[in-house]
Structure 1
Amino acid sequence: MSENISTALANDNSANACDKTLAQYRCPLCQQVLVLTNKTYRCDKNHSFDQAKQGYVNLLPVQFKHSKEPGDNKAMVQARRAFLDKGYYQPLVDSMLALHKKYSTKDATIFDAGCGEGFYTHQHKTEHNNVYGVDIAKETIKIAAKRYQDCFFSVATLSDLPFSDNQFAWLYSVYAPILETEFSRILADKGYLLTVTPADNHLFELKSLIYRQANKHDTTKSPIKQLTLVEEQRLNYVMDFTTSEDVLNLLAMTPFAFKASEELMAELNQLTTFSCQADFILRLYQK
């Protein structure tokens, strides 16, 4: 069955797929392997999921949703896309890719947990590998699949990922919930998990405009208990803004945007220059 799955996926999903490293999707209803035939994923129990015209597959059944449209709203998605496209977080991507080059192989199958509109996902794609992204927000997956057609995208929840066990050699999570048990399940033996979380001073200058007393991020706790920590890095740099639009987009993609007053929004809209720290912790674990 594995050979049939690989053939079907290679023919139907991506012309740039590498046949030997395709991951197996599994049914979210019965956990059986899904086979793609004529644009429909189907398991042995005849549960079926159609591939959308953009190329992604929705593997989040309606009965598993906790709201009508789970995940980030459209405004937040548009703001994040505009901000990331300006390259402010490119140093983070470069650090992530450097770790991958150092520890993994060029043909490793990669998974982006909470991929959003695919900013990090597509930058891990090469002619030698296959890269998968999952997000709970359908609209963001639509954007990702339409824009980055050489990657595999699906709508699903991170707490019940739509993949068979031991599928990925490299998995990363950027600001998404870190669920060690489920991530470990889909990681191959000796596979790596890279987590990116905020360090103490991340966006501190922006937070200081919103809160009377801005608190630094707590970096002492880690949700990873069983995997082995291989390397930890701190990445800190200053982002210099010359347009208010970029500052407002940064604010809109953060959780504390809801705390911003109308007066502050008007003030930010008049900014001509602003500087703010990007401060990340990268932790690499191995199964």
Structure 2
Amino acid sequence: MSYQCPLCHLSLSLTDRTYRCDNNHSFDLAKEGYVNLMPVQHKRSKDPGDNKEMMQARRRFLDHDYYAPLRERVAKLCSEKDQSAQPTILDIGCGEGYYTAYIAETTQAQVYGLDISKAMIKHAAKRYREVDFTVASSQRLPFSDNTLSTIVRIYAPCQHDELYRTLKEQGIIITVTPAARHLYQLRELIYSDVRLHDEQPEIIEGFELESDEKLSYPMHLSGSDAYDLLQMTPFAWKATPELVNNLKASETFICETDFSVRVYRKTK
């Protein structure tokens, strides 16, 4: 399987480190091994996605494996639920590749990672050579119709019709979203009235909800790790300098994880 041209939607073929379609649109492989399939006319900003500081905080935090139980559960679901003879898995919004690389290591699938952030993909491709990484938009997936067997979405936005278009018959979507008390103690520092996350399952047309589970556990974080966690979230924009300093100085910060993990299967 190969990529689809983001300009004319024809298949891309790789020759001498260049992807090219029959209309002669071409996209070179970067030295790190990824391909940029985000044409400038599809960008809403010069450098979309997470900035460098957010990327570095996310990388540091994930490298401590606080989210390893989630990573392991998602990878296991990929193995258990994907019924394809030759599994092809796409991780949408893959970031620096923490989940993507583990899926590639623990399954027999061809694994792709996609993110809108060039900085994230550049780092991921350099670190995890076993995955095919691309800079692209989740709103316009650069894959042909009915070619993917599993799509993983960990907090990633997307177009439902793109999920339906690219997944094979009986293909699956694995979604991870915040459950009610996810990061409650962190949000408690910022908001006077903390609202629990909505746990209502997403309705995805053309798919049925096959399984719905929660994964919850406490994290015992150092002050620096708690700060990195804050930087990974939208809450960082609302944090005062005093809050940030207190968080960094804390010896131990205990914070709950609470994930909703769901599997949807294509039905028609």
Normalising by structure 1, we get a TM-score of: 0.89
- Once residues 276 and 237 of structure 1 are traced to their aligned partners in structure 2, the CA distance between those partners, rounded to angstroms, is 9
1:66-98 deviations in Å (ceiling 9; x for gaps): 001101111111101110110100111111122
Of 153, 161, 169, which aligns to 2:133? 153
- Contact 2:139/2:158 (8 A) holds in 1: no
* Letter aligned with residue 274 of structure 1: F
Alpha-carbon distance between aligned partners in 2 of 1:203 and 1:109, rounded to the nearest angstrom: 32
Q: How does 1:48-59 map to 2 (within 5 A)?
A: 48-59=26-37
Identity across aligned pairs (percent)? 48
2:71 aligned with 1:71: no
Question: CA contact under 8 A between 1:180 and 1:223: conserved in structure 2?
Answer: no
4+ residue runs of structure 1 moved beyond 4 angstroms? none
Please state if 1:81 is matched with 2:98.
Answer: no
Instruction: Encode CA deviations 1:197-234: one digit per residue, 9 max, x unaligned.
Output: 00000001000001111111122251523301110011
Gaps of 5+ in 1: 1-22
Residue 3 of structure 1 corresponds to none
Q: Which residue number corresponds to residue 80 of structure 2?
A: 102
2:3 corresponds to which of 12, 25, 36: 25
Q: TM-score, normalised by structure 2?
A: 0.95
Alpha-carbon distance in structure 2 between the residues aligned to 1:128 and 1:240: 34
**2:218 aligned with 1:238:** yes
Counterpart residue identity of residue 87, structure 2: A
The residue matched to 1:158 in structure 2 has which SS?
coil
Task: Give a deviation string over 1:85-144, Cα, whole Å, max 9, x none.
Answer: 101001111111222232225841111011101001000114732100110000100000
Establish whether residue 270 from structure 1 lines up as the match of residue 228 from structure 2.
no
8 Å contact 2:164–2:206 — kept in the other structure? no
SS in structure 1 of the partner of residue 139 of structure 2: helix
Listed one character per residue, the Cα deviations across residues 182-209 of structure 1 (whole Å, up to 9, x for unaligned) are: 1111111111110000000000100000
Alignment correspondent of 1:171:
151
Given candidates 241, 248, 253, the residue that maps to 2:227 is: 248
Residue in 1 aligned with 2:239?
A: 260
Per the alignment, residue 132 of structure 1 pairs with 112
CA RMSD of aligned residues (A): 1.3
Instruction: State the aligned residue count.
Output: 264
Residue 63 (structure 1) shift: 1.1
SS of 2:194 mapped into structure 1: coil
Amino acid at match of 2:103: H
Report the CA distance between 1:179 and its aligned residue. 2.5
Provide the residue aligned with 2:264 in structure 1.
Answer: 285
